[in-house]
Structure 1
Amino acid sequence: MNKATSDEIYALLPQTQCKKCGHGCCRDYAEAIADGAPINCCPTGGAKGIRRLSRLTGKPYIPLDTRYGEERPRDIAVIDESLCIGCRLCINACPVDAIIGTNGFTHTVLSLKCTGCDLCTPVCPVDCIIMTNTSGEKTGWDAWSTAQAKRARVNHERRQQRLKHEAEIERIRLEALAKTGSAGRKKKNAVLAAVEKARKKASGQT
């Protein structure tokens, strides 16, 4: 059996970031496989994906575990903008930033970026997102190219970097707010202490 690295395994996954394998993203599944997890839990990659992983890892080919889903044609999300309420829940759920829009305004799916992960549909409170077949009868890697996977990987990693950057900015903002609040409280307490001292002096108290 070959000892494949998580990076090598990650490069062979479809990068849809759909979580159907039971892990948080393709990177997490790749790390799990490197640690000994089964190679047949990715319905997006399907049978061809399992064969690729089998050749890389040296593990025997086994059929897709359908508890994680069936190998299917490629879908993309389409938003019915007449129903969209602009809640941003789908934008927050999308792992590749394929949905654009602002609070209170209708959102739109960028079809070239959409991986068909289907993570946006369960969070939509008005059921305005429809998954639409774009590959006909082609399924798995017959419906999804290596170039598309590479592009999806880049989009996902850019999103992860953006979220990390935004979280750091928020952390700095909260720290600054806390320091400002602490300084304000100290100043207020000093003023109150000075007033109380002056009151005592005026009343002849020591």
Structure 2
Amino acid sequence: MSPRPLADQIEDLLPQTQCTKCGFPACRPYAEAVAAGEAEYNRCPPGGAQGIARLAALLGKPVIPLNLVNGIEKPRAVAVIDEEICIGCTLCIQACPVDAIVGAAKQMHAVLPQLCTGCDLCVAPCPVDCISMIEVTPGRTGWNAWSQEQADAARLRHDFRTARLRREKVENDARLAAKAAAKLKAVEAEAAESPEERAAQERKKAIIQAAMERARLQKEQQAAQAAGPTGMPDVARSVRRGIEEVDGKLKQDPQ
């Protein structure tokens, strides 16, 4: 049996907080960059010194200090929303990489602390500054403040969210395409008697056709760049099963 790809092995050693402090949009891109030699293995503050030691052992390299440009190692924190100030703008929900915030537009939001990875990505977008990061592991940092089960659960939730957003975009693009096609058909059916009316009709058709062509090209580019499987419903179901399994373990050992 061939060994697992190095990027997969590196990703397994990351805490999966999806905090972007490493300079990459998520843990997986960082793992791929480290595997390719394009990024150092000391850029993950949530993993801390122990995380660097784990990566160094895998890579056969020396243990080096955490790059302070990316942050400092500190106790794990969770986000807390002040319900008296929250205006229900949903910006924090959109920013959360692991779906740890619940709420609806113009309704008070709440963080599910057992799901929060402490990434703090929800803090900056809040327009009323109602989100605070509260330490929950005083005296414990890095992997002493985080468990493999929590990391596995966070990765599953991040993957599920990514799959959901991709599916929603596909569905929305399909609705827009159908709307554009209907509009084009309606324009073509319009009665145009004078040269001016026919010219205006042609302009409308050209605008709609150009928009449809841009959408088609964008769809092709996204399909070419997609690294995951194309069966989104099946992916979502498999990820959901994984989440349920890890959630069961976390309920037995919340820390």
Q: TM-score, normalised by structure 1?
A: 0.90
Instruction: Output the CA distance in 2 between the equivalents of 1:60 and 1:168.
Output: 45
Conserved 8 A contact 1:4-1:56: no
**What's 2:131 paired with?**
129
1:111 matched to 2:91? The reply is no
Matched letter for residue 35 of structure 1: A
Distance across 1 between alignment mates of 2:97 and 2:5: 26
Between the aligned residues of both structures, percent identity stands at: 52
User: Equivalences for 1:1-206 in 2 at 5 Å?
Assistant: 5-36=6-37, 37-188=39-190, 191-193=191-193
Q: Name the count of aligned residue pairs.
A: 190
Aligned partners of 1:90 and 1:123 also within 8 Å: yes
Quick check: which has more Rg, 1 or 2? 1
Name structure 2 gaps, 5 residues minimum.
Answer: 195-255
Q: Tell me how far apart the structure 2 counterparts of residues 90 and 172 of structure 1 sit (CA, whole Å).
A: 27
- How far off is 1:112 after superposition? 1.0
Distance 2:32 2:134 in 1: 31
Paired residues of 1:95 and 1:159 also in contact (CA < 8 A): yes
**Distance in 2 separating the partners of 1:58 and 1:183:** 63
Higher relative contact order (CA 8 A, sep 6+): 1
Distance in 1 (alpha carbons) for counterparts of 2:93 and 2:22: 22
Indicate if the aligned counterparts of 1:84 and 1:106 stay in contact, CA closer than 8 A. Answer: yes
Q: Aligned equivalents of 1:4 and 1:52: distance in 2?
A: 17
The CA deviation at 1:26 is: 0.2
Partner amino acid, structure 2, of 1:96: V
Q: Which amino acid aligns with 1:13?
A: L
Aligned-pair CA distance for 1:192: 3.1
Q: Which amino acid aligns with 1:157?
A: D
Once the two structures are superposed, residues 6-35 of structure 1 have per-residue CA deviations (whole angstroms, 9 ceiling, x without a partner) of: 111111100000000001000010000001
Q: CA deviation at 1:96?
A: 0.3
Between Structure 1 and Structure 2, the one with more helix by share is 2
C-alpha separation in 1, matches of 2:61 and 2:189: 67
Deviations 1:35-84 (A, max 9, x none): 11210000000000001101111122111011100001000000001100
Residues 173 and 4 of structure 1: CA distance in aligned 2, closer, same or farther (over 3 Å): closer
Using the size of structure 2 for normalisation, the TM-score is 0.73
Asked if structure 2 preserves the Cα contact closer than 8 Å seen for 1:4 and 1:57, the reply is no
Q: Would you identify which runs of 4 or more consecutive aligned residues in structure 1 move more than 3 Å?
A: none
Partners in 1 of 2:187 and 2:99 — Cα distance? Answer: 42
Q: Note the alpha carbon deviations across 1:95-136, whole angstroms, 9 max, x for none.
A: 001001111111010111100000000110101001000001
Cα distance in 2 between the residues matched to 1:66 and 1:129: 25
